[in-house]
């Protein structure tokens, strides 16, 4: 059968764009449809604008610290509108780069919604139908807001980047990395910030010791963090949004931001009617090669709900092209993926948590918490944390967890060593770089506990 395209990609995020570009560069006839903006969650409403906001928010603490170091600096005032203009311009630039790269590769772009109409057919919002030998679903995720009275008054993380002005007082609902990051960002920009999370501790799924350490730091810097607390209802009152919590507390905020997770963006895509099996949360269920239950339909990125990180989606997209268009079956690797939570300070990790490791084998735990030189000199109380999980039998380092300024930059290098199978003795033999915080990684000689 003659198809209109060899590949039709639905979704213009990092995973879909990478797959479409690589396939086209290899000679495939490729089309891509995106209903919003090219770049997806990461570029438009996630990693990139968030990190720029992290940079902006960090300057408030840097200014305070500079005074303690002897700099004559007046009181600073953050200009959200000025920052927002530069942010919008940068996102426009990056979207242009994505489009240009696709265009150079020969990908045909449709700026509208596309849905699956069958194993080899897609339909655009304007009614046009196209056939394709393969369809790649890369529609990412969408914010999830639970059913609570007054939920229409709440923002999601998507809305934060579109604020016309900074709220004076804000509530962030959630305890995952997005919630913790936005609580730190808004607090750093001068917004009075509270955070409610229904669980016992923030950052579920991360290392327990690190979770507790970071929660303490969030409170120490002035974020009004309450765990074991959820929102019962929201209502417009007292010139703001009145929030009744499950623990009985009531407070009024100018804005309430729900960061309670994202769900796979599959609603209304026609996948189930085409025979594609979806999971409990709407995720496309795929095999190790990203193939769905329909042999001609694949999926990569957050829509599969495997590891919801941009670099993982990019790897999955590249592996899809290797498998389908280059005759080289390739499974994207999902183990030892480093990650970072861009709180202040950052929390970065790679490998296993202490809880995961001790359930599988005997382990030794090396951990150190201390006040770093830069902050201690001016009396800043925050403590950094460095932690290694080591297999007691093989001596291999199974996991590393760092809470410190620049932790994300450090973990990238540590991830290389751990992937290569470095042992604790390899770390011990490495000469420290002094004076740095990172030297602690190679200076922890005695385990704090064994399990």
**Distance (Å, rounded) from C-alpha 392 to C-alpha 443?**
18
State the catalytic residue, choosing from 120, 187, 334, 434: 434
For the chain, helix (H) and strand (E) counts, in that order, are 13, 23
* The pLDDT of residue 75: 80
Q: Give the max Cα distance, the chain.
A: 75
User: 446: exposed, middle or buried (C-beta count within 10 Å: 0-12, 13-18, 19+)?
Assistant: exposed
DSSP-assigned letter for residue 267:
T
Backbone angles phi, psi at 389, to 5 degrees: -110, 125
The dihedral region occupied by 423, where left means phi > 0, alpha psi between -120 and 50, and beta the remainder, is beta
DSSP-assigned letter for residue 375:
H
Peptide bond into 101 cis (omega under 30): no
**Distance (Å, rounded) from C-alpha 269 to C-alpha 253?**
36
Q: With contact defined as beta carbons under 8 Å apart, do 403 and 346 qualify?
A: yes
Q: Collect all residues with Cβ–Cβ distance below 8 Å to 257 and sequence separation of at least 6.
A: 154, 155, 156, 157, 159, 160, 170, 171, 172, 173, 182
**Residue 434 annotated in active site:** yes
Query: Model's pTM, two decimal places?
Result: 0.95
Q: What is the pLDDT along the chain (451 residues), one digit of tens a residue?
A: 799 999 999 999 999 999 999 999 999 999 999 999 999 888 888 999 999 999 999 999 999 999 999 999 888 889 999 999 999 999 999 999 999 999 999 999 999 999 999 999 999 999 999 999 999 999 999 998 999 999 999 999 899 999 999 999 999 999 999 999 999 999 999 999 999 999 999 999 999 999 999 999 999 999 999 999 999 999 999 889 999 999 999 999 999 999 998 999 999 999 999 999 999 999 999 999 999 999 999 999 999 999 999 999 999 999 999 999 999 999 999 999 999 999 999 999 999 999 999 999 999 999 999 999 999 999 988 999 999 999 999 999 999 999 999 999 999 999 999 999 999 999 999 999 999 999 999 999 999 999 9
Question: What's the half-sphere exposure (Cβ side, CA atoms, 13 Å) at 209?
Answer: 23
3-class DSSP assignment, residue 234: strand
User: 38: exposed, middle or buried (C-beta count within 10 Å: 0-12, 13-18, 19+)?
Assistant: buried
Neighbours of 36 (CB within 10 A): 16
Domains of the chain: 5-143+263-325 (3.50.50.60), 151-260 (3.50.50.60), 339-450 (3.30.390.30)
């Amino acid at each position: 059968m003659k198809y209109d395209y060899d590949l039709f990609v639905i979704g213009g995020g990092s995973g879909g764009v990478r797959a479409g570009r690589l396939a086209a560069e290899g000679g495939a006839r490729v089309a891509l449809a995106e209903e919003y903006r090219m770049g997806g969650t990461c570029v438009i409403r996630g990693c990139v604008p968030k990190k720029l906001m992290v940079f902006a928010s960090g300057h408030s603490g840097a200014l305070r610290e500079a005074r303690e170091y002897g700099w004559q600096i007046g009181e600073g005032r953050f200009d959200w509108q000025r920052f927002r203009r530069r942010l919008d311009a940068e996102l426009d630039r990056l979207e242009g780069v994505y489009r240009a790269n696709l265009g150079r590769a020969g990908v045909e772009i449709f700026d509208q919604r596309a849905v699956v109409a069958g194993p080899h057919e897609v339909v655009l919002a304007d009614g046009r139908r196209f056939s394709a030998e393969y369809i790649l679903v890369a529609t990412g995720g969408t914010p999830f807001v639970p059913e609570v009275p007054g939920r229409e008054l709440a923002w999601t993380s998507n809305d934060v980047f579109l604020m016309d002005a900074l709220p004076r007082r804000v509530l962030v609902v959630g305890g995952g990395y997005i919630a913790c990051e936005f609580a730190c960002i808004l607090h750093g920009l001068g917004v009075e910030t509270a955070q409610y999370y229904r669980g016992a501790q923030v950052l579920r799924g991360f290392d327990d010791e690190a979770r507790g350490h970071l929660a303490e730091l969030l409170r120490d810097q002035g974020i009004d963090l309450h765990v074991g607390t959820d929102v019962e209802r929201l209502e417009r009152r007292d010139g703001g949004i009145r929030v009744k919590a499950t623990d009985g507390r009531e407070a009024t905020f100018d804005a309430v931001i729900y960061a309670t997770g994202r769900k796979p963006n599959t609603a209304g895509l026609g996948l189930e009617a085409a025979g594609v099996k979806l999971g409990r949360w709407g995720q496309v269920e795929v095999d190790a090669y990203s193939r769905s239950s329909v042999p001609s339909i694949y999926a990569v990125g957050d829509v599969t709900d495997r590891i919801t990180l941009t670099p993982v989606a990019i790897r999955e997209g590249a592996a899809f092209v290797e498998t389908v268009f280059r005759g080289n079956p390739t499974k994207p690797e999902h183990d030892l993926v480093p990650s970072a939570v861009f709180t202040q300070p950052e929390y970065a990790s790679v490998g296993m948590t202490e809880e995961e490791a001790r359930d599988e084998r005997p382990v030794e735990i090396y951990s150190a918490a201390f006040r770093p030189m830069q902050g201690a000199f001016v009396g800043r109380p925050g403590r950094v944390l460095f932690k290694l999980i080591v297999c007691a039998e093989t001596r291999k380092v199974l996991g590393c967890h760092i809470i410190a300024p620049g932790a994300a930059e450090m973990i990238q290098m540590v991830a290389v060593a751990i992937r290569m199978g470095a042992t604790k003795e390899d770390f011990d033999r490495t000469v420290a770089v002094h004076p740095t915080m990172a030297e602690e990684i190679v200076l922890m000689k005695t385990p704090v506990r064994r399990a």
